[in-house]
Amino acid sequence: MLAETPENAGYMVAAYVVTPVILVGYLALLWRRMGGKTEGRKDGETG
């Protein structure tokens, strides 16, 4: 366990912020790859 020092605080916050963003973006990419086989939007659905 890392000691919570001001030096590590920035990295801890960055890790907590960046990691979910990367995971969500990666999952979204996979989701679009799997579900978005048809490149044209059918019913105008977004999301």
Note whether 35 and 27 are within 8 A (CB): no
Count other Cβ atoms within 10 Å, centred on residue 22: 10
0.85 exceeded by pTM: no
33-45 confidence digits (pLDDT tens)? 988 655 555 565 5
Report the chain's C-alpha Rg in angstroms: 18
Phi-psi region of 41 (alpha: psi -120 to 50; beta: other; left: phi over 0): beta
Q: State residue 35's pLDDT score.
A: 84
2-35 confidence digits (pLDDT tens)? 666 777 888 889 999 999 999 999 999 999 998 8
Q: State residue 23's pLDDT score.
A: 97
